[in-house]
Amino acid sequence: MLTTAGCRARQSRFRERLAALHIDAAALSDYRDIYYLTGILLPDKLPALMLFDALGSGRTLLVAPDERLTESVVAVVDECLTYEWSHFGTMNPNPVGLMNAVVAARLKGAQTMRRLGWQAESLPRLCANTLDCALQPDEWVDIDATLAEMQRRKDPDEVEMMARAAQVNLAGYTAAQAAIAPGVNELAVLAAGQRGAMLKAGERVYHDGDYRCGQFNGPARDRRIEAGEIYIIDAQTCYRGYWSDLSRAYIVGGEPTALQQSLFDHIAAIQESVADLLKPGGDGRDVWRELDRRIRAHPALAETGLTHHGGHGIGLRLHEMPDINCDRGGILEVGNVLSIEPGGYIDEARYGVRIENTYLITESGAVNLCEYPVNFIAVK
């Protein structure tokens, strides 16, 4: 999990940003951002609220479902309160109301303030009304962009989590590859991938994505795969709050055709060289254009080029900035973790190749966080 030292450092940087924006206190309501600052990973379907500096003297308060807080939280949160999210095994139907009641009771007599930071993407209106009555801010300031900007540059404990997420994801690929054969159902391949990822993680994890054979993209179907098709698996795994997004391609039931092999070799060569494109100060749009240029060097892809984004930032969310896109980029910085995914597709190849790896940008160059064979494996 995230380290206590890492959480304390992030809280300090967050407090500095709030001060620069003349924000007196902040209310965090997205479980991912609470995790980022505290190291406690709360369930995504139950509400929680972290009040940052709203109690005076720089104190923090976390209100979360009961049975979800551990002793480790005490090191990074000044006060923890809980609400009952279930009763004898039955989920309570009004968790927002229950949480809000705890918040309202705790904030009785709280000091008023001028500017309150809040998360416009996630704060329930009921809680917003309670905060408005208790703290009486003169102005509400959206802090979603502030947090997103902070999270673009990963700390060492985050990078460690993402490297682990990649290993869990790749274990899913190894298991999926073993399941691929002509006549096997796509859903069975997905199930094998999910099983492999969870066994590697030693716990329940999310593993899914594009598991559709012989087509450009899409989820696994109730369909048997056919010999001669290319099976692109573009799977995402979320391990302890951090995402991995990778892609590999397999030829089903025999040796590839000359066209299929040439497509694979071309895309693999581009993937092997992309680290040189990921330099601090570069623009994601320029990276996309260069990927597109290199893809078009293959005669069969000269007209189509790169038909989707070339990658994206990744971390607590599957897609973060900076983006590697034709018309939306962002400046690359040290600490960014980027998923890079060149691909080329034509009907005659049944259907194409996409290879995706994840890189950490450092002062000395881009580091691949997911070392794993890039081979066009003929699965029989």
Q: Is pLDDT above 60 for 266?
A: yes
Give the span between the Cα atoms of 280 and 277, in whole angstroms: 9
What does pTM read for this prediction?
Answer: 0.95
Give the span between the Cα atoms of 212 and 198, in whole angstroms: 21
pLDDT for the residue 56? 75
Label residue 105 by pLDDT band (50, 70, 90): very high
Q: Is pLDDT above 80 for 70?
A: no
Task: List, for residues 323-356, the tens digit of each pLDDT value.
Answer: 999 999 999 999 999 999 999 999 999 999 999 9
- Report residue 254 CA to chain centroid gap: 35
Q: Which residues of 218-235 are buried (b: 16+ CB within 10 A; e: fewer)?
A: eebeeeebeebbbbbbbb
User: Around 268, how many Cα atoms within 13 Å sit in the side-chain half-sphere?
Assistant: 15
CB–CB of 322/286 below 8 Å? no
Label residue 57 by pLDDT band (50, 70, 90): confident
Task: List the structure tokens of 58.
Answer: 């720089």
CB–CB of 352/305 below 8 Å? no
Q: Any idea what the Cα angle at residue 245 is, between residues 226 and 250, rounded to 5°? A: 25
pLDDT for the residue 376? 87
Q: Domains in the chain, ordered, with CATH? A: 4-150 (3.40.350.10), 156-379 (3.90.230.10)
Look-up of token digits 């060149």: 342
Give the span between the Cα atoms of 256 and 224, in whole angstroms: 19
Task: List, for residues 186-199, the tens digit of each pLDDT value.
Answer: 999 999 999 999 99
Task: List, for residues 141-171, the tens digit of each pLDDT value.
Answer: 999 999 999 999 999 999 999 999 999 999 9
Look-up of token digits 């995914």: 341
